[in-house]
A and B are shown apart, each in its own frame.
Chain A
Amino acid sequence: MSTMSDTPNRASAVIIGAGIVGNSLAYHLARLGWRELVLLDKGPMPNPGGSTGHASNFIFPIEYSKMMMELTADSTEQYEALGVFIQSGGIEVARTEARMQELRRRCTQAKAWQIPAQLISPAEVAKLVPYLDESVILGGAHFPTVGVVDSLRAGTLMRENATRLGALTVLAGAEVLGIDTDAAGRVSAVRTTRGDIETSVCAICCGVWAPRIARMAGARIPLTPIAHQMISVGPVPLFADTPGEISYPIVRDVDTNMYERQHGGDMEVGSYAHRPIIVAPDDIPSIEEAALSPTEMPFTQDDFDPQLMQALELMPDLLGDERVGIRYAINGLISMTPDGHPLIGETPEVPGLWSVAASWIKEGPGIGRAAAEWMSGGAPEIDIHEADISRFYGHQRTTAHVIARAREGFNKMYGIVHPAEQWESGRPVRLSPVYDRERDLGAVFIETAGWERPNWYASNDVLLERYAGRLMEREAEWESRWWSPIINAEHLAMRDACGLVDLSAFAVFDIVGPGALAAVQSVAVAQLDVRAGRVIYTSLLDERGGFRGDLTIMRLGPQRFRVVTGGATGMMDVKWFADHLPGQEGGPGGAGVGPGGAQAVIADQTSAWTTLGLWGPRARDVLSSVTPADMSHDGFKFGTCREIELGGVTVLASRISYVGELGWELYAPIEEGRRVWDTVWEAGQPHGLVPVGIGVYGTTGRLEKGYRAYGAELDGSYDLVEAGMTRPKVKEQEFLGKDAYLAQRSSPPCAVLCTLTVDDHRSASGQLRYMLGGEPVLTAAGEPLVDAKGRPSYVTSAGSGPSVGKHLLMAYLPAEYAVEGNRLAVEYLGEQYPVTVAVAGSTPLFDPDNERVRS
Chain B
Amino acid sequence: MEIAVCVKRVPMVGGKIVVTADGQDVDTRMSGFTVSPHEECAVEEAVRLVERHGGSVAVLTLGPPAAADQLRDMLALGATRAVLLETDGREWGPIATAEAIVAEVTGAAADPATSPVPALPDPATSPVPALPDPAASPAPDPAAAAASNLPYDLLLFGNEAADTGDYQVAVRVAHALGLPCVTGIKNLEVTDAGARAKREYRGTEEVFDIPLPAVVSVKEGINLPRYPSLPGRLRAKRATIETRAPQWRADGLTKTGLRVPAGESKRAEILGNGADAVPALVALLDELGILS
Contact = CB atoms under 8 A, between A and B. Distances in A.
B240 to A, nearest CB: 17
A285 B12 CA distance: 12
Interface in B21-48: 29-33
B30 A326 contact: no
B229 A323 contact: yes
A312 B227 contact: no
A291 B12 contact: yes
A195 interface: no
A297 B231 CA distance: 24
B14 interface: yes
Contacts of B13: 289, 291
A96 to B, nearest CB: 23
B230 A288 contact: no
Interface stretch (A133-141, A301-309, A681-689, A807-815): A301-309
A322 B29 contact: no
Contact of B15 (A288, A300, A319): A288
Interface in B215-265: 226-234, 237
B50 interface: no
Nearest to A321: B229
B14 A289 contact: yes
B30 A308 contact: no
Contacts of B15: 288-289
A283 B30 contact: yes
Contacts of B229: 233, 320-326
Given A2-B270, A298-B12, A298-B31, A308 B18 contact: no
A297 B230 contact: no
Interface in A295-349: 297-301, 305, 308-309, 311-312, 319-327
B69 interface: yes
B14 A325 contact: no
Contacts of B231: 312, 320, 322
A761 B22 CA distance: 71
A182 to B, nearest CB: 34
Given A283-B29, A326-B227, A308 B12 contact: no
Nearest to A318: B230
A308 B270 contact: no
A308 B234 contact: yes
Contacts of B32: 291, 297-300
A632 interface: no
Interface in A644-701: none
A319 B16 contact: no
B17 interface: yes
A23 B73 CA distance: 39
Contacts of B228: 325-326
A431 interface: no
Contacts of A288: 14-16
Nearest to A284: B30
B283 to A, nearest CB: 21
A286 interface: yes
A290 interface: yes
B230 A308 contact: yes
A253 to B, nearest CB: 15
Contacts of B12: 291, 298
Contacts of B16: 286, 288-289
Interface residues of B, number: 27
A285 to B, nearest CB: 5
A297 B33 CA distance: 11
A292 B15 CA distance: 9
A300 B32 CA distance: 8
Contacts of A323: 229
Contacts of A305: 233-234, 237
Nearest to B229: A322
Contacts of B73: 301
Contact of A301 (B29, B69, B270): B69
A320 B30 contact: no
Contacts of A312: 230-231, 234
A319 B29 CA distance: 32
A325 B31 contact: no
Contacts of A320: 229-231
B79 to A, nearest CB: 15
A413 B33 CA distance: 29
B236 to A, nearest CB: 10
Nearest to A311: B230
B227 A297 contact: no
Interface string B159-192: 0000000000000000000000000000000000
B31 A291 contact: yes
Given A289-B13, A298-B31, A308-B233, A325 B270 contact: no
Contacts of B270: 2
Contacts of A326: 227-230, 233
B233 A291 contact: no
Contacts of B72: 301
Chain A CB within 10 A, most for which of B12, B31, B233, B237: B233
Nearest to A234: B227
A305 B32 CA distance: 17
A297 B234 contact: no
Contacts of B267: 1
A309 B18 contact: no
Contacts of A284: 30
Contacts of A1: 267
B186 to A, nearest CB: 22
A728 B13 CA distance: 71
A287 B14 CA distance: 8
A171 to B, nearest CB: 16
Nearest to A315: B230
Contacts of B237: 305
B48 to A, nearest CB: 14
Interface string A28-62: 00000000000000000000000000000000000
Contact of B227 (A300, A301, A325): A325
A290 B230 contact: no
Contacts of A2: 270
Contact of A325 (B17, B18, B226): B226
A225 to B, nearest CB: 12
Chain A CB within 10 A, most for which of B12, B30, B73, B234: B30
A827 B16 CA distance: 58
A179 to B, nearest CB: 25
A431 B206 CA distance: 80
A124 B282 CA distance: 60
B249 to A, nearest CB: 33
B80 to A, nearest CB: 15
A231 to B, nearest CB: 9
Contacts of B233: 301, 305, 308, 326
A319 B227 CA distance: 13
Contacts of B17: 289
Contacts of B234: 305, 308-309, 312
Contacts of A311: 230
A109 to B, nearest CB: 34
B15 to A, nearest CB: 5
Contacts of A292: 14
A305 B234 CA distance: 7
A108 B253 CA distance: 72
A44 B288 CA distance: 29
Question: Nearest 9 A-B pairs (CB), nearest first?
Answer: A298-B32, A325-B227, A288-B16, A327-B227, A291-B12, A290-B14, A322-B229, A288-B15, A289-B14
15 contacts: A1-B267, A233-B230, A283-B30, A285-B18, A285-B31, A288-B15, A289-B14, A291-B31, A291-B32, A308-B233, A312-B230, A319-B230, A324-B229, A326-B227, A326-B230
Given A233-B230, A284-B30, A285-B30, 19 more contacts: A285-B18, A286-B16, A287-B14, A288-B15, A288-B16, A289-B14, A289-B16, A290-B14, A291-B12, A297-B32, A299-B32, A300-B32, A301-B72, A308-B233, A309-B234, A311-B230, A312-B234, A326-B230, A327-B227
Interface of B: 12-18, 29-33, 69, 72-73, 226-234, 237, 267, 270
